[in-house]
Structure 1
Amino acid sequence: MIIVENLPVPLDRRVWQEACALRDAGWTISVICPKSAQFPLAFETIDDIEIFRHDLPLEASGRFAFLYEYAAALFHEFRLLWKVRRRRGFDVIQACNPPDLIFLVAAPFKLFGKRFVFDHHDVCPELFVAKFERRGFFHTLLLLAEKATFRTADLVISANETYRRLAISRGGKKPEDVVTVYSVPDKARIRRVSPNEALRAGAATVLGYVGIIADQDGVDHLVRCVHHLVADHGQRSIRAVVVGDGPALESVKRLAGELGVADHITFTGYLRGEDLLAALSTFDIGIIPDPVNEYNDKISMNKVFEYSALGISSVSYDLTETRRLLGEAGRYALGATPADLAVAAVPLIEDLELRLASGRRAKALADAQFDWDREAERYVAAYARLMDGDRRPSAAGA
């Protein structure tokens, strides 16, 4: 039983790949998640995985609004857990954060012998600081919720090695109870196709972004970067293509208009399937505009894996986890402002051979290190050890 609160399934690629990996290993899988405009059905079965979706209020934008959103989600998750228990049963509940509150609805089922797995997607205390630029009472509550989640979990699946170290140091978990599984895309599902020339719109260079558009994701930095490229560097034959949706979409569109670069940016909204692949195949340079803060410094962004898998050169701020993943295959801004991001992008815009060489390095890195089959094997093996009671550390854990 997998519970995810912030994205519907199968839109959440990591959760969907995990569900499919367990299904292929012989597990019966159910998922609880929110509805969305793209996935409005309360129930459907996709590829033998039963998906139960619930309503949510509008996405929160303030601290108290977050509490309301999470309370509504917890109510529906608890209700649907009982429904699934009666319908087909489950042995394990896997909670995918944010928030670090799903342990509240899972904990009662441990009394019935169910196991609890925490799939650690985000570091919520750091995310709070990034969104609200303060600590205080709510930050303390988030630290307590995170600790309670770690204490309740029989197994922790960490999204990267930084998270794994946090689970052990801040969460008090034994090293053998924490396994790292990276969110790399399945190579069978991500590939180059014919580009969407309508998105290029005649531009010499396409700067691309794919992902959620929320305040902490830095799409406003991308818009400002485009402004600097046009106004300061004379790069008028560029177009930015932003693929995705989220609560900050309208504000970044307004910003593009205010800065006079709306004609240089296309917002496609949410895409999937061949339309998504065609958009990604149009990118010449992948932009990772997530700003410098303690949250982004720790996370492994899906964009890193997706750009690399397609051989797209990328530009980002100098974030610890991003540099650790990309190494010499990435290009990094020397400072932390959109103007610095623009300066880092200029050589790739002006030098085609440099750009192609950077893309080849990224593709070679992805082929050698970003392998979902390997991550899935580690993930399924962790579940097998959990159910067998064998807590010997895996090779990756060691």
Structure 2
Amino acid sequence: HAHYALPAGGAALSWARRHDVPLVVSVHGGDVLGPAVADPAARQRIGSVLRSADAVMCNSHPTLERSALLAGSDANMRVVHLGADPPKHPKPRREVPTVATLGHLVARKRHADVLRAVRLARERVPELEWLVIGDGPEREALEELARRIGVAEHVTFAGQLEPEEALAELASCHLMALPSVDEAFGVAYVEALACGVPAIGALGEGGPEEIAALSRSMLLVPPGDAEALASLIADLLESRAEVSALAAQARRGAARHFSWEACGKATVECYREALE
């Protein structure tokens, strides 16, 4: 079982054929999006790996569609959503309204949009805070932007935390905003839902759109629109009853559609098909 078509899938394919064993490849999106398929030789190699695999597990339907386009067929493909568990030791909900963002600090995650939205939303929710969980090359620029637009004292950059600690911090917040682009699935969204935290992503992105179709606690705004994001954040935080209702629905939706048990069963079924 190889994760990502390249390089792992390509290496595993050669080994599997030499030893006459079935090969399952998991496609996570980054291996069939943008830069990964910009080179014609890479596209050809990825397509060959996906065609040759006995089974291909895709993290969303948009990922499956892109994979099938490269392979020329979806006959050996199925969607298997990743799961998420709530933290074992969640922290109590913060008294101050807090938006969290969970993710690597890179440009495509659009943290700067959240930062600008927080500044705008504070006009209606003056006590609003932003908790940034994760680290990456954009951190210094984001810290400078926070100072420049006057909200640095209301932003906490928590850095890279251990998984259980990250989930505990996430569960203490009221909303999770991550309006990223090129999002094939988005584990951070289902982790937020499992924590009982409504999540906000970008319209037109395959992963967030698919999650939103399964849970009304996954909300969407136009990409790059800080004003729309700010308006949604303020609308929700001004209605604690609505946030509470969405939080309860988030937990139910995550347990129903994004459990590790369901992911495990689908994976075992995929293995059975590969062995036939």
Question: Aligning the two structures, in what range does the TM-score lie when normalised by the shorter sequence?
Answer: 0.7 to 0.9
Letter of the 2:2 counterpart: A
For residue 257 of structure 1, report the CA deviation from its aligned partner. Answer: 2.3
In structure 2, the CA distance between the partners of 1:107 and 1:194, relative to structure 1 (3 Å rule), is closer
For residue 348 of structure 1, report the CA deviation from its aligned partner. Answer: 0.9
Q: Aligned with 2:92: secondary structure? A: coil
Q: Aligned with 2:146: secondary structure? A: helix
- The counterpart of 2:77, out of the listed 147, 167, 178, is 178
Structure 1: 5+ residue runs without aligned partners? 1-93, 130-134, 391-398
Note the alpha carbon deviations across 1:153-203, whole angstroms, 9 max, x for none: 23211111222233334312452x212211111x3x63562238xxx5xx6
- The counterpart of 2:144, out of the listed 254, 263, 269, is 254
For residue 256 of structure 1, report the CA deviation from its aligned partner. Answer: 1.9
Name the CA distance, whole Å, in 1 between partners of 2:222 and 2:10.
Answer: 43
Question: Greater Rg, structure 1 or structure 2?
Answer: 1
Question: Pairwise CA RMSD of aligned residues?
Answer: 2.6
Q: What pairs with 1:335-346 in structure 2 (closer than 5 Å)? A: 336-346=224-234
For residue 123 of structure 1, report the CA deviation from its aligned partner. Answer: 4.1
Note the alpha carbon deviations across 1:223-267, whole angstroms, 9 max, x for none: 22222223xx34320111111122322332232223222111111
- The counterpart of 1:224, out of the listed 116, 120, 127, is 116
Contact 1:307 1:313 in 2 (8 A): yes
- The counterpart of 2:35, out of the listed 101, 117, 128, is 128
- The counterpart of 2:193, out of the listed 308, 316, 319, is 308
Aligned length: 272
Q: What pairs with 1:290-369 in structure 2 (closer than 5 Å)? A: 290-291=180-181, 295-296=182-183, 299-319=184-204, 320-327=206-213, 328-333=216-221, 336-369=224-257
Aligned to 1:377: 265
Aligned to 1:167: 67
Name the CA distance, whole Å, in 2 between partners of 1:250 and 1:141.
Answer: 36
Q: What pairs with 1:197-208 in structure 2 (closer than 5 Å)? A: 204-208=96-100
Q: What TM-score do you get using the length of structure 2 for normalisation?
A: 0.86
Name the CA distance, whole Å, in 1 between partners of 2:7 and 2:63.
Answer: 18
Q: What TM-score do you get using the length of structure 1 for normalisation?
A: 0.61
Which structure is higher in RCO with an 8 Å CA cutoff and minimum separation 6? 2
- The counterpart of 1:239, out of the listed 129, 143, 157, is 129
Aligned to 1:146: 46
Q: What pairs with 1:72-83 in structure 2 (closer than 5 Å)? A: none
Name the CA distance, whole Å, in 2 between partners of 1:116 and 1:374.
Answer: 21
Name the CA distance, whole Å, in 2 between partners of 1:324 and 1:157.
Answer: 16
Aligned to 2:23: 116
Q: Aligned with 2:71: secondary structure? A: coil
Identity %: 18
